[in-house]
Amino acid sequence: MYLANIIKSHNNMYIYDALNNRFCTISSKEDILNDNKYADFLISSNFRDIKKPCAFEIKYPYSEEELNNMFTRSIKSITLSLTERCNLRCEYCGYMPKYSDESYLLKDMSRDVAYKAIDLLMNNSHESELCHLGFYGGEPLLRLDLIEECINYINRKYPFRKPSYNIVTNAVLLNDKVADYFIENDIHVIISFDGPKQHHNKYRVDYNGVSSYERVYQNIQVLYKKDPKFFRTHVTYNVVLCNGTSNELFESIDSLWKSDVNIIEPMLTEHFINTRDKNKDIVTDEKINPTTYDFANRNMLKSMKKYYNSFHESMCGNIIFPGGFCTPGIRKNFVTANGKIVVCEKVDESQEVFHIGDVYRGIDADNVKRLINETLRRVEKCKYCWAAKFCKLCFKDILNIDDDFCKRAKSQVESELGFYFDNICNKRELINYVSNISLT
């Protein structure tokens, strides 16, 4: 089959044609695999002959001129890595190799770098509806002084536009004063919190291996008690799913008073794979029904949006750019402690290909071109892939697109597509809901 695949869902079996974006119910694989049956199927369904060779044409959607235009008008977000230091030693953290290396000197961001990054954002975002500044680490609350300086600098220098702020924190230092500061400055708070005590304490420990749950829970309460309404609209939990899913975990997360929850798959860094104590894992084989939990249901329906878009767009053709890539230099910009701009906070910042500029010279068009060309080279093989349009692939993955990655990505698309065909596309209420979902 070319650019097509049989999708087996819980209730049905479908044939999906990625080139024409069509799908059709079949009674068994034989409808496609058996030549006689296939001939009948083609006549009755008016389907494309999916056994005829074809391929997508891979093309990046924006020209250099267009990108350069955007870099001076539409930068939407910059996230500052205020420090590489952290007061916890979460075993799955991407910085653990640095923390374990005694010879490595952990860096702090200077005021000058922070101010330059802010200028870059504020002076190049005037046509953007989003103007966002993020505080990240390490643990950014170790640099509360710099956060205060940054916000004061913006208030002073840019009196007529306020960016939206967020901070990703482990909440260990979230005391009374910090809570007041967050509320006063309208800062969205993303708290790394892995659920009930036994889940959270498994990997979220300090230098001495002391668990953090008790301190964190107390501190979150401080913020909550200050202003429950603020908490409801400004606090999101990042939950790293180290032990798979369980009803206990989902129920506990779902019950929290919060704005939202992001479920995060752990980064399987080499360090984590080597040091992970399998005995600590709480193994559960529980099947979760996501519709039981509001946050899970919302996330699941959100994941359906790309399928909805694809099946409702007016034009389809063979020119695509696979995966879910953002526009480099526009939507996410991660400024390292020493002022380099990398494409986002999730990429391996030690890889040169992800460096797209620095705070002194701004976004470097040549570096962006290099990243795009490298990406195009790496996704060349996607032109033969039926799942390319819906693949989870983004910049953070481009150096690791091996067979295993593709297998997992296809399996995910297959399962999501099956869910869409079975449960979404024929249900008017759900289709309405999905069509109205806004993504950030």
Task: Indicate the residue among 220 and 337 with the shorter CB distance to another protein.
Answer: 220
DSSP 267: P
- With binding defined as CB under 8 A, does residue 298 bind another protein? no
Task: Indicate the residue among 155 and 373 with the shorter CB distance to another protein.
Answer: 155
- With binding defined as CB under 8 A, does residue 264 bind another protein? no
Q: In this structure, is the dihedral angle defined by the CA atoms of residues 180, 181, 187 and 192, taken in order, positive or negative?
A: negative
- With binding defined as CB under 8 A, does residue 430 bind another protein? no
Q: Which stretch binds another protein (CB under 8 A): 40-48, 214-222, 264-272, 413-421?
A: 214-222
Single residue of 159, 283, 287, 403 touching another protein by CB under 8 A: 159
Give 212-235 as a DSSP string.
-HHHHHHHHHHHHHH-HHHHHHHE
Give the nearest distance from C-beta 348 to another protein in angstroms: 24
Terminal alpha carbon distance of the chain:
36
Q: Please list the residues that pair with 167 across neighbouring strands.
A: 135, 189
b (16+ CB within 10 A) / e for 225-257: eeeeebbeebbbbbbbbbbebbeebbeebbebe
| Inter-residue contact 132 to 166 (CB < 8 Å) | yes
Write phi, then psi, for 50 (nearest 5 degrees): -80, 0
Task: Indicate the residue among 93 and 223 with the shorter CB distance to another protein.
Answer: 223
- Report CA-CA distances (Å) from 279 to 205, 243, 266, 275: 16, 12, 17, 12
- With binding defined as CB under 8 A, does residue 214 bind another protein? no
Write phi, then psi, for 24 (nearest 5 degrees): -155, 140
Q: Token pair of 398, please?
A: 């481009």
- With binding defined as CB under 8 A, does residue 176 bind another protein? no
- With binding defined as CB under 8 A, does residue 65 bind another protein? yes
- With binding defined as CB under 8 A, does residue 220 bind another protein? yes
Give the nearest distance from C-beta 15 to another protein in angstroms: 23
**Which amino acid, 117?**
A
Give the nearest distance from C-beta 222 to another protein in angstroms: 11
My answer on whether omega of the bond before 138 falls inside 30° of 0, hence cis, is yes
Q: Which stretch binds another protein (CB under 8 A): 62-70, 168-176, 262-270, 372-380?
A: 62-70
Single residue of 161, 197, 377, 427 touching another protein by CB under 8 A: 161
- With binding defined as CB under 8 A, does residue 157 bind another protein? yes
Give the nearest distance from C-beta 312 to another protein in angstroms: 4
Single residue of 8, 305, 346, 378 touching another protein by CB under 8 A: 305
Single residue of 8, 48, 162, 370 touching another protein by CB under 8 A: 162
| Inter-residue contact 227 to 259 (CB < 8 Å) | no
Binding site for another protein (CB under 8 A): 61-66, 69-70, 73-74, 123, 126-131, 155, 157-164, 217, 220-221, 224-225, 227-229, 231-232, 254-258, 294, 305, 309, 312-315, 327, 435, 437-440
